[in-house]
C-alpha cells in the first residue's frame, strides 16, 4: 500500500409568423452567431512590443531563420516587429517563438527566434508591472547594457525594475496575462510579505504540469480552487515566507531506509521544502518521477528553483490524498468543500477537533483570498 506524504510525518504539515419568415430569421441568426463564436475566441492579441526609448522588439533582418537575433530597433510597423501573445505562454513573430539561446537560465543569455517547441526557454509572462519574465530562469527580458541604439541585442537578466526591462506588450487573449485566474497584483495582495523566492512567474510556469488545476468547472470553481490551494500554502509557509522546514532537529527523521533506493542525498536531506513542505525520501522520489525531475538525488532543487518548488506543491494537491479520502483538487472541483482539502493535507493532526486553531487559520486565509478574487467561499469550510 503506497505511503502518503502525510502518513509518516512527525511534525505539522501534513468553481404568430408564417413558417417561411421563421426559417429566414433562424438562418440569419444562426449565421450571425456562428460568425461571432467562430472568430472571437481565435483572435490572439498581437502588436508591437515597445521598450527603452520607445523602440521596438525587432527580428533582425526580418528573417524567420532559426537563431535570428532579436534586438531593439526603431519602430517601423513591419512584420519583424509584430508579436502575438496567443495565451500559451509564448511570444511569436514571423511564425516562430521568442527563445532563450541554448536553454540558458544565466543572466546575459541572448534571446533569438526559433521554431516553437514548447520548451521552458520559450515561456514568457507579461506582468502587470510591464516586465516580460522567463519563469524557468526567473529573469527578465532586458536590453543589453541599457543601450537604446538600433541593433542592440536583447537578453535575459535578473529582474531589477530598471527602464531597460520595461515593456508595453500585447496581453494574451486569455484574460490575465498568464491565463491563470489569479493576477500578479492579486497574488501580491495575498502575500504582501512573501519571500522573493516564491515568484508569481514560478507559479505560472508550474501550472503546465497540472493543466486541470484552477482550470476545471465554472469560473467560480476555478477561483475557489486557486484560493484553496493558496490558503493552504499560506498556512504551511507562514505567508510564503519559509522555503524550508524551520525545525532542523527533524531533518534526519525523513529518510526511510526501507525503500530500495535509500537516501542517496544523505540521511538529513529530505526535510520539508516548498509551498506544501514536501518531505521524506519516498515523496521526493514519487514527485520527481511524476514531474520528470530527479529529486531523489537532488532534493535541494526544490529550494533553488521556484518553478520546481511550485510543481511539488501542485503534485501533492492534484495527486495525493494524504490522511484524507480524496485529493484536494477533487475536493474543490467536486463540491466537497475547503474542509476536505485540510483533511487531505494535515487532517490527522488538525481535523475532528484535534487542533481547531490551525483549521481556523486556514479557513481565515481561504475566506480572505476568495474575497480578493471576488467569489463566495462555498460551504463545508471545516473538517
Entry pTM: 0.59
pLDDT of residue 380: 96
For every one of its 383 residues, what pLDDT tens digit does the chain have, with 9 covering 90 and above?
A: 233 333 333 333 333 333 333 333 333 333 433 333 333 333 345 688 988 888 899 999 999 899 999 999 998 888 899 898 776 678 889 888 999 999 999 999 999 999 888 788 888 888 767 889 888 788 999 999 999 999 999 999 988 889 999 998 875 543 344 578 998 889 999 999 999 889 888 888 888 888 889 988 999 999 999 999 999 999 999 999 999 999 999 999 999 999 999 999 999 999 999 999 999 999 999 999 998 899 999 999 999 988 899 999 999 999 999 999 999 999 999 999 999 999 999 999 999 999 999 999 999 999 999 999 999 999 999 99
- Give the CA distances from residue 44 to residues 82, 89, 177, 279, in Å, rounded to whole numbers and listed in that order: 12, 12, 12, 41
Q: Which domains does the chain have, with CATH numbers?
A: 45-165 (2.80.10.50), 228-373 (1.10.530.10)
CB of 160 closer than 8 Å to CB of 173: no
Predicted pLDDT of residue 16: 30
CB 192 within 8 A of CB 240: no
- Of residues 352, 347, 350, 358, the one with CA closest to residue 320: 347
Contact in structure between 3 and 345 (CB atoms under 8 Å): no
The residue behind cell 543589453 is 144
Active-site option among 236, 245, 303, 350: 236
**Residue 236 bears catalytic tag:** yes
Q: Please give the pLDDT value at position 90.
A: 83
Beta strands 56-59 and 96-100: pairing type? unpaired
What is the model's pLDDT at position 48? 86
Residues 122 and 66: their CA atoms lie apart, in Å, by 13
Per-residue confidence (pLDDT) for residue 127, from 0 to 100: 73
pLDDT of residue 174: 37
Amino acid at each position: 500500500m503506497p505511503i502518503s506524504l502525510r502518513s509518516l510525518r512527525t511534525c505539522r504539515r501534513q468553481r404568430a409568423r408564417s413558417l417561411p419568415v421563421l426559417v429566414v430569421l433562424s438562418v440569419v441568426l444562426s449565421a450571425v452567431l456562428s460568425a461571432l463564436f467562430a472568430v472571437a475566441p481565435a483572435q490572439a492579441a498581437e502588436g508591437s512590443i515597445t521598450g527603452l526609448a520607445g523602440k521596438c522588439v525587432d527580428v533582425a533582418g526580418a528573417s524567420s531563420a532559426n537563431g535570428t537575433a532579436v534586438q531593439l530597433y526603431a519602430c517601423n510597423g513591419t512584420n519583424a516587429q509584430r508579436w502575438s501573445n496567443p495565451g500559451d505562454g509564448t511570444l511569436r513573430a514571423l511564425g516562430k517563438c521568442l527563445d532563450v539561446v541554448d536553454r540558458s537560465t544565466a543572466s546575459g543569455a541572448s534571446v533569438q527566434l526559433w521554431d516553437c517547441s514548447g520548451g521552458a526557454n520559450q515561456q514568457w509572462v507579461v506582468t502587470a508591472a510591464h516586465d516580460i519574465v522567463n519563469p524557468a530562469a526567473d529573469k527578465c527580458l532586458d536590453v543589453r547594457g541599457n543601450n537604446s541604439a538600433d541593433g542592440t541585442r536583447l537578453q535575459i537578466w535578473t529582474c531589477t525594475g530598471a527602464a531597460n526591462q520595461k515593456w508595453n506588450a500585447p496581453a494574451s487573449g486569455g484574460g490575465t496575462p498568464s491565463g491563470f485566474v489569479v493576477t500578479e497584483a492579486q497574488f501580491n495582495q495575498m502575500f504582501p510579505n512573501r519571500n522573493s523566492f516564491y515568484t508569481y512567474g514560478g507559479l505560472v510556469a508550474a501550472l503546465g504540469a497540472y493543466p486541470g488545476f484552477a482550470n476545471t468547472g465554472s469560473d467560480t470553481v476555478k477561483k475557489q480552487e486557486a484560493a484553496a490551494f493558496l490558503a493552504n500554502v499560506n498556512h504551511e509557509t507562514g505567508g510564503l515566507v519559509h522555503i524550508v522546514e524551520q525545525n532542523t532537529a527533524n531533518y534526519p527523521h525523513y529518510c526511510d531506509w526501507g525503500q530500495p533506493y535509500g537516501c542517496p542525498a544523505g540521511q538529513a536531506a529530505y526535510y520539508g521544502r516548498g509551498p506544501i513542505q514536501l518531505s521524506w525520501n519516498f515523496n521526493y522520489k514519487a514527485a520527481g518521477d511524476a514531474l520528470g525531475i530527479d529529486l531523489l538525488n537532488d532534493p535541494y532543487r526544490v529550494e533553488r528553483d521556484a518553478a520546481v518548488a511550485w510543481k511539488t506543491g501542485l503534485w501533492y494537491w492534484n495527486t495525493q490524498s494524504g490522511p484524507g479520502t480524496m485529493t484536494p483538487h477533487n475536493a474543490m472541483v467536486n463540491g466537497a468543500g475547503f474542509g476536505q482539502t485540510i483533511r487531505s493535507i494535515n487532517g490527522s493532526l488538525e481535523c475532528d477537533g484535534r487542533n481547531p486553531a490551525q483549521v481556523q487559520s486556514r479557513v481565515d486565509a481561504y475566506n480572505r483570498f476568495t474575497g480578493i478574487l471576488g467569489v463566495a467561499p462555498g460551504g463545508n469550510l471545516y473538517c
